C-alpha cells in the first residue's frame, strides 16, 4: 500500500548539507518506502570511499558516475515496477535526470515529486564538515566542502512548469518537515 494512495518517487535537488539524508532516512520509515542512496551505492560498487576515489582517478568522474547512476536507475525501476514508493536520494539537480525519473514514474503510473531542501550556505558548509562518517555520508574538510557546494549549486537547473516540487526548510525538525511535505504533496497529487 502506498502512503498517499498514489505511488510516488521522491527525488531531491538540494545541495549537500541541506538535510537530504536526514529527511530521507526518516521519511523512508514514515512512508514505508524503499530508499536508494547514491553514496551507499558508491560504497557497494567500489567497496570503500578510498577505492571509489582511486577508481575515479583512473577512469574519470563521468565513467564512475555512470556506474553509480546506472545501478541506481536499474534498482529504482525494480522498486517502482513492484509498486513500492521510492526515495531516490541523490542530487538530481540536472533537468535531464529529473526528466528520467518523471518518465519512470509515468511508465508505472506513479508520480514524481522533487523535494528541494533549503539551508543557508554557511549552515550547509558546517554540516558537511561535521556529518557522521557512515555508509551513506562522510565528512569533508572546509575546502572540500566549499568545492562540493559550489560545484553542485552552479550545476543546478531551474525547475520546469511540469515538475511537482515540494520546498522544505532544511533547518526544521523532521516532524515539522514531514508535516509540510505531506501538506504539499497532497496539494500536488489531488
| CATH value of 8-189 in 3.40.50.720, 2.60.40.10, 3.40.50.300, 2.70.70.10 | 3.40.50.300
Cell numbers linked to 186: 497532497
CB under 8 Å to 34, separation ≥6 — which residues? 28, 79, 84, 85, 86, 87
Element (H, E) at 114: strand 111-118
**Which letter, b or e, does each residue of 62-90 get, where b requires 16 or more Cβ atoms within 10 Å of its Cβ?**
eebeebbbebbbeebeebbeeebbbbbbb
Q: Cβ–Cβ contacts within 10 Å for residue 93, how many?
A: 20
167 DSSP β-pair partners: 116
Q: How far apart are the first and last CA of the chain?
A: 18
CB half-sphere exposure, 21, CA atoms < 13 A:
17
As a whole number of angstroms, the distance between CA 62 and CA 55 comes to: 11
Per residue of the chain (190 residues), what is the pLDDT tens digit? 689 999 999 999 988 899 998 999 999 999 999 999 988 898 899 988 788 889 999 999 899 989 999 999 999 999 999 999 999 998 888 899 899 999 999 999 999 999 999 999 999 999 999 987 765 567 888 998 899 899 888 888 999 999 999 999 999 999 999 999 999 999 999 7
**Domain residue spans in the chain?**
8-189
Length of the chain in terms of residues written: 190
As a whole number of angstroms, the distance between CA 67 and CA 7 comes to: 27
Q: What is the pLDDT of residue 155?
A: 86
Closest by CA to 164, choosing from 148, 184, 142, 144, is 184
Element (H, E) at 143: helix 142-154
According to DSSP, residue 162 is labeled T
| 0.95 surpassed by pTM | no
**Is residue 116 helix, strand or coil?**
strand
Q: Are 16 and 144 in contact (CB under 8 A)?
A: no
Amino acid at each position: 500500500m502506498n502512503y498517499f494512495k498514489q505511488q510516488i518517487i521522491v527525488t531531491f535537488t538540494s545541495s549537500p548539507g541541506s538535510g537530504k539524508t536526514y529527511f530521507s532516512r526518516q521519511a523512508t520509515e514514515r512512508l514505508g518506502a524503499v530508499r536508494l542512496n547514491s553514496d551507499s551505492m558508491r560504497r557497494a560498487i567500489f567497496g570503500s570511499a578510498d577505492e571509489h576515489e582511486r577508481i575515479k582517478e583512473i577512469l574519470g568522474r563521468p565513467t564512475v558516475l555512470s556506474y553509480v547512476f546506472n545501478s541506481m536507475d536499474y534498482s529504482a525501476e525494480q522498486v517502482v515496477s513492484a509498486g513500492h514508493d521510492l526515495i531516490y536520494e541523490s542530487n538530481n539537480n540536472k533537468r535531464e535526470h529529473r526528466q528520467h525519473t518523471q518518465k519512470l514514474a509515468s511508465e508505472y503510473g506513479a508520480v514524481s515529486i522533487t523535494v528541494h531542501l533549503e539551508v543557508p550556505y554557511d549552515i550547509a558548509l558546517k554540516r558537511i564538515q561535521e556529518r557522521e562518517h557512515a555508509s551513506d555520508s562522510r565528512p569533508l574538510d572546509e575546502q572540500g566542502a566549499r568545492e562540493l557546494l559550489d560545484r553542485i549549486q552552479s550545476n543546478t537547473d531551474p525547475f520546469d512548469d511540469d515538475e511537482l516540487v515540494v520546498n522544505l526548510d532544511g533547518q526544521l525538525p523532521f516532524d515539522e518537515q514531514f508535516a509540510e511535505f505531506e501538506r504539499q504533496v497532497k496539494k500536488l497529487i489531488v
